[in-house]
Amino acid sequence: MSTAIEANADGLIGPTHSYAGLSPGNLASSLNKGEASNPRAAVKQGLQKMRRLHDLGLPQFILPPHERPNIPFLRSLGFAGTDGEVLARAWKEALSFAAAACSASPMWAANAATVTPSADAADGRLHFTPANLVTNLHRSLEHAQTRRALQALFPDPRRFAVHEALPPVAHLADEGAANHVRLCAAHGEPGVNLLVWGREAWEPWDGPYPARQTREACEAIVRRHGAGRPVLARQGKAAIAGGTFHNDVVCVGALDTLFFHELAFEDTDTVKADIRAAADGLFEPLFVEVSAEDLPLADAISSYLFNSMLIQVPGESRLTLVCPTETQENPRSRAVTERLVASNGPIGRVEFVDVRQSMRNGGGPACLRLRVVMTEAELAAANPAMRLTPELHTRLDAWADRHYRDTLTAADLADPALLEETRGALDDLTGLLGLGSGFYPFQRDPAAALA
Ligand code: SUG
């Protein structure tokens, strides 16, 4: 048994952050479709949240944005010419593909990968499977570059196993850590791995919105990671129908505590019994369940109470819940947080962070981060250039001021000048994060970069 701490790796929000309505079943994404975004405010909000977590004493890493607009993707669809021409033609002839190619969706790092800490893995390494994200076109374009970023951050194969994504087919649809909760007595001790799925691979699906994760994807990840004590649970069908596109919209857990909405699971009693059985001999799980009477599902989803970060602040005995400001503004959700703190339960403190730009696409504080439980030796082996320090925060803030627009509409995404701007930003960023000059496709193929 070793001591370990829970680090966070957040997706740095990219310069094409926009509201394109690309995710059916994600109500915020649909509601805000076509609104102007503010990429500069977005990236600064994300950085501020990272800084807060750093200041609370948790190691904080950065996952760089992907190259967008994604010209190689558009070329694969037959659009030809200079990069600027490819972009212009795609926007003219294939609007939905062009919009997908411009999405800054890799910011939501909870969907980057499923993570198995070394304490749970059969071979004692820290495992990552990048999520194939096949349910939504724009997100299916992420996993290869995500893998590259994870390999840059976790470079030593003796300690870290960064797998390929599962085969990108609907039968193995995988959305990463957003559907995974690890419970344990202490981070460095073996834990219980709760993996939540929405449908079975061959099940006819008739829900109003897609179920994004299959049971078979969860099983494959458990097998390849050698993950101990798995518990597989079915997402509530009513929850999906109400707009719960990932389980982390209605459930979050940390250490021995699972905090969730009554409708999160199809069969809550079985989930609890299975977790208790899997935890037997390790710890006694604590279930903090919020009823639909206290908090209707619609309020849970619009206020994102459960899409909060549940963290152990070093030196504190009770957990802290880091919620979006929207939780504070919803009277019912706020009342739940007040009751949590006033009770003698496991959650002793609630903080609020402003990530409004991301929230308007359905991405709360928990969506923006990938949790990685790490031993001291693993922390020492991670790439220090990708770890947030106050100095790096200041540099990245200034970088955002130099390169990001403060307003972006769908029409702006077709602007060839944006292509140059984003490449300039990413080129500069590879220097700031020590990523080397072949990290992005446009850097590996400079001829193609001439717009
Ligand atoms: O996959 N939104 C993301 C939000 C992901 C939130 N992540 C977690 N819950 N862990 C999604 O639906 C919207 C993009 C747009 O519409 O422009 C989007 O992709």
Question: Cα–Cα distance between 38 and 16 in angstroms, integer?
Answer: 9
Q: What average pLDDT score do residues 239-247 get?
A: 98
Domain limits at 423?
Answer: 4-68+103-436
Query: Which of 8, 17, 26 to mutate for ligand 1's pocket (most ligand atoms within 8 Å of CB)?
Result: 26
Ligand 1 atom closest to the CA of 26, numbered from 1: 12
pLDDT confidence band for 149 (50 / 70 / 90): very high
Determine, yes or no, domain membership for 205.
yes
Q: What average pLDDT score do residues 223-250 get?
A: 98
Residue 446: its pLDDT value, please? 57
Pocket of ligand 1 (CB under 6 A): 18-23, 26, 29, 103, 105, 108, 110-111, 139, 178, 245-246, 248-249, 361-363, 367
Determine, yes or no, domain membership for 94.
no
Q: Is the pLDDT of residue 258 over 80?
A: yes
Residues 218, 367, 393, 403: which is the catalytic one? 367
pLDDT confidence band for 449 (50 / 70 / 90): very low
Q: What average pLDDT score do residues 145-151 get?
A: 98
Determine, yes or no, domain membership for 276.
yes
Residue 451: its pLDDT value, please? 36
Q: What average pLDDT score do residues 137-156 get?
A: 98
CATH number for position 10: 3.75.10.20
Confirm whether 216 is a catalytic residue: no
Which runs of consecutive H residues, i.e. helices, occur in 242-330? 268-279, 297-303, 325-329
Instruction: Please choose, from the candidates 391, 394, 370, the residue with its C-alpha nearest in 3D space to the C-alpha of residue 382.
Output: 370
Task: Tell me the average pLDDT of the chain.
Answer: 97
Residue 381 tokens, joined:
């082996």
Q: What average pLDDT score do residues 117-124 get?
A: 98
Determine, yes or no, domain membership for 444.
no
Which residues fall within 8 angstroms of residue 28, CB to CB, at 6 or more apart?
A: 302, 359, 360, 361, 362
Q: Is the pLDDT of residue 448 over 60?
A: no
Q: Is the pLDDT of residue 137 over 90?
A: yes
Determine, yes or no, domain membership for 13.
yes
Residues 187, 246, 393, 403: which is the catalytic one? 246
Determine, yes or no, domain membership for 89.
no
Confirm whether 246 is a catalytic residue: yes
Which tops the pLDDT comparison, 366 or 448? 366
pLDDT confidence band for 1 (50 / 70 / 90): low
Q: Is the pLDDT of residue 447 over 60?
A: no
Ligand 1: residue whose CA is nearest its atom 5: 363
Q: Is the pLDDT of residue 450 over 70?
A: no
Ligand 1: residue whose CA is nearest its atom 14: 22
Distance from the alpha carbon of residue 103 to the mean position of ligand 1, in angstroms: 10
Determine, yes or no, domain membership for 227.
yes
Confirm whether 175 is a catalytic residue: yes
Count of domains observed in the chain: 1
Determine, yes or no, domain membership for 390.
yes
pLDDT confidence band for 216 (50 / 70 / 90): very high
